[in-house]
Amino acid sequence: MEPLHGPIKDYAWGSRSAIAELQGRPVPSAAPEAELWLGAHPGAPAAVERDGGRIPLTEVLAAEPVRWLGRPVLDRFGLRLPFLLKVLAAAAPLSLQAHPDAEQARVGHAAEQARSGGHRNYVDPFHKPELLVALGPMEALCGFRDPAASARALAALGVPQLRPVLDALAAGPAGLAEAVRRLLEWPTAERAGLVAAARAAQGPDADLVARLAEAYPADPGVLVALLLNRVRLAAGEAIWMPAGNLHAYLRGTGVEVMAASDNVLRGGLTPKHVDVAELLRVLRFEVLDRPVVAPQEVADGVLTWPVPVDDFALHRVTVGGGRREVTLAVPGPRVVLCTGGRVTVTDGVAPVTLGSGRAAVGPAAGGSLTVTGAGETYIASTGQV
């Protein structure tokens, strides 16, 4: 194992305390700290320590691909780390967004590559399913809820202009696409008035409307939010976000693991590029009945959240008290993040001691991971390739 140093993204919605507190740095931080990236994504690769300096993990993998990635990962994914581990810290709502499936990403990236305007939606040819595990209380919007519940929430706002949206929702799941399209394509000149009218109303979701409208007073995404499941997570609970699932984080801190891609299709609640037509094309207009994923205990001190992809797997290992050592066999390369306490992690080659907010990386050629000490770690690896 080797120490791994990840860059921090300073997106405006980030927290000035969460990641700094996790790493034991002064609070508040100088700028918003939204995401800590721990992987080899070319957009912001983490670095390892070599010869008194640091070199990008991408260069380490390229220099010794078989040792670091292993033949099964190379054959399945090519010369790249197929997963990205993050700490996400939201102090304000993120954009309404979804991610393409593998075929949509491949075709979309190739089409944008063939044009001279560069990549706006498909910056790479890979899908981006995601799993987020809360480190404390979190709030998110995740997947479409029962259209009847959405219709009741919109009707409670008492805004007559929303009648066509309510009529679409009356058709049940079959009307979700039309309801979303009508809201996201609302005439620009009328958007501020629509959001203002909704904000002035009282209803079961008035607090959510007010919070989103304060940040985005002319964005119809404020009302699209009422079509989604509003999820409140406790520490250890997770959200699984497959391709085509419309979602947005509202606030809180969590550990997120995903396929190593940066393809994001946004529909609103953001100053960034929005492409409503492309978002509507990739969305899955299905009701998501159970957006929250509970952890499964696979061994004493080891939890996991099974997902139906082989790009990544995530385990949480807790040691301390009467459990001073845990050994875990996971395939391929692995990234370890300590989220509390102090632990030592070894793969049979070299041990690394980690404090809270610190990370390490190990090659596929290493053996099983053994965690000792007193603390909590998250271990990202590939799934069974």
- CA distance to 145, 148, 336, 354, per residue, from 186 (Å): 21, 22, 45, 51
Residues 6+ apart with CB under 8 A from 214: none
CB of 21 within 8 A of CB of 29?
A: no
Annotated catalytic, 316? Answer: no
Q: Rounded distance, CA 376 to CA 237, Å?
A: 15
Instruction: Write the DSSP string, 318-367.
Output: EEBTTB-EEEE---S-EEEEEEEEEEEEE-SS-EEEEETT-EEEE-TTS-
Residue 77's SS3 state is helix
Instruction: Tokens 């109303």: give the residue.
Output: 201
- For residues 178 and 182, give the distance between their C-alpha atoms in angstroms, rounded to a whole number: 6
Return d(Cα 225, Cα 231) in angstroms, integer. 12
Neighbours of 2 (CB within 10 A): 17
- Amino acid identity of residue 90, one-letter, is A
Please report where in the chains the tokens 């385990």 appear, as a residue: 315
Which entry of 80, 266, 334, 358 is annotated as an active-site residue? 266
147 in helix, strand or coil?
Answer: helix
Single-letter residue type at 84: L
Which residue type occupies 184? Answer: L
Per-residue tokens: 223: 């009302």
* Cα gap 217→330, rounded to integer Å: 47
**Closest by Cα among 109, 129, 98 to 269:** 98
d(CA 163, CA 329): 56
Element (H, E) at 373: strand 369-381
The catalytic residue positions are 266
